[in-house]
């Protein structure tokens, strides 16, 4: 496994060792899987349909029992935990949100805290806090019913409900799959912002490599037969696919995708000498990605872009600098 990846100095929150699942009809859904997820890390399981992603997720919260291997959460063997107790510490978000259709949004979200013995008033407070957290103003949405919400809003309720017990671990199975592409991007961005605040340990399943690269601190690429083909950071995965299965899956546009996961660095900038700020289009921040830098150059129709660290210009980036930055990210 890639020990240079994010969070490897933190003890794993989730550890799968030699985990396999063979269904009764003989289908090998997951094969000898070793996977560690550090506390606070967002790991994406990605791969074509039928390669064992959902099965893996459901083994973590014991909706499915593994045939072989062990799964530990926070050092505890999950097969020895009480499943009800276990699921309390694990939020679970699925594509078809599974809201109660005849209950209001507020009641839907309150269900979990009520289940854990909170008073009605506390549960309602908690529900409102969570609704605000996911961008659903309680004054407007508390009394609505699921069918009165858009797909994206229902998905937000699903996330709010999964967070209701404040679980350290969140499992998400194609959580943004059922909404249109524009809403999907918005939900992804919102979730990333939320995750920065909450710092949950998240395992997210998707079949969409773009979503995987965008969301994951690390990405586990699954191949047919439930085999783990590669487990690496998005940048590593795109720059150095482990084998043909991964490079096929990552696709011919992986070069472009690398732009979105490679940050700027001071050493690839040229000095501001001779360039007046007026010659440049809009400036970008030093913590931007190469993709953002190129997007501004193209939009403003300039051969370079000014880079700022806070309020101060620290240099300009040219397409040559972009090339050098990509090169350097490979050499790491
Ligand atoms: P993914 O989520 O990656 O699409 P799944 O984990 O759902 O894949 O399924 C992995 C494999 O296991 C597939 O071949 C699927 O058909 C099979 N499978 C899933 N659930 C069952 C089941 N209950 N019984 C038999 N085979 C199953
Ligand atoms: Mg699935």
Domains and CATH numbers, the chain: 14-251 (3.40.50.300), 266-331 (3.90.1280.20)
Neighbours of 199 (CB within 10 A): 12
Q: What confidence score (pLDDT) does residue 97 get?
A: 67
CB 57 within 8 A of CB 16: no
> How many residues in total does the chain contain?
332
Beta bridge partners of 309: 312
Whether residue 120 has pLDDT greater than 70: yes
- For residue 173, how far is its CA from the centre of ligand 2 (angstroms)? 7
pLDDT digits (tens, 9 = 90+) for 263-275: 899 999 999 887 7
Ligand 1 neighbours (beta carbon < 6 A): 23, 25, 27, 29, 47, 49-55
**163 within 8 A of 93, measured Cβ to Cβ:** no
Residue for token pair 């921040």: 285
Query: 206: which strand partners?
Result: 46
What secondary structure does DSSP assign to 128-177, as a single string? HHHHHHTT--HHHHTT--GGGS-HHHHHHHHHHHHTTT--SEEEEESTTT
Q: What is the pLDDT of residues 203-234, one digit of tens each?
A: 999 999 999 999 999 999 999 999 999 999 99
Closest CA to 42 of 234, 239, 290, 261: 234
Q: How far is the CA of 249 from the centre of ligand 2 (A)?
A: 17
How far does the centroid of ligand 2 lie from the alpha carbon of residue 201, in Å?
A: 20
pLDDT score, position 8? 52
């Amino acid at each position: 496994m890639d020990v240079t990846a994010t969070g490897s100095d933190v003890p794993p929150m989730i550890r799968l060792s030699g985990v396999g699942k063979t269904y009764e009809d003989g289908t090998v859904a997951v094969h000898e899987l070793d996977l560690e997820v550090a506390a606070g890390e967002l790991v994406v399981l990605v791969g074509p349909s039928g390669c064992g992603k959902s099965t893996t997720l459901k083994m973590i919260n014991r909706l499915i029992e593994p045939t072989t291997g062990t799964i530990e959460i926070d050092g505890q063997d999950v097969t020895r935990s009480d499943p009800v107790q276990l699921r309390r510490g694990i939020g679970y978000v699925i594509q078809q949100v599974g809201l109660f259709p005849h209950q209001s949004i507020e009641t839907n979200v309150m269900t979990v805290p009520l289940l854990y013995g909170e008073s009605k008033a506390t549960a309602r407070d908690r529900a409102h806090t969570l609704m605000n957290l996911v961008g659903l103003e309680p004054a407007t949405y508390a009394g609505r019913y699921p069918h009165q919400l858009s797909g994206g809003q229902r998905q937000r309720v699903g996330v709010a409900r999964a967070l209701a017990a404040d679980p350290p671990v969140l499992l998400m199975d194609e959580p943004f799959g059922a909404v249109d592409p524009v809403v999907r991007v918005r939900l992804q961005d919102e979730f990333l912002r939320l995750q920065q605040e909450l710092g949950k340990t998240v395992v997210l399943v998707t079949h969409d490599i773009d979503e995987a690269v965008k969301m994951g601190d690390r990405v586990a690429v699954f191949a047919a037969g439930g085999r783990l083909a590669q487990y690496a950071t998005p940048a590593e995965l795109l720059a150095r696919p482990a084998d043909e299965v991964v490079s096929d899956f990552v696709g011919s546009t992986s070069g472009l995708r690398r732009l979105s996961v490679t940050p700027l660095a001071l050493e690839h900038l040229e000095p501001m000498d001779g360039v007046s700020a007026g010659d440049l289009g809009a400036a970008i921040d030093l913590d931007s990605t190469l993709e953002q830098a190129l997007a501004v150059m193209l939009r403003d129709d300039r051969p370079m872009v000014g880079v700022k660290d806070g309020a101060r210009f620290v240099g300009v980036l040219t397409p040559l600098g972009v090339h050098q930055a990509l090169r350097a990210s490979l050499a790491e």
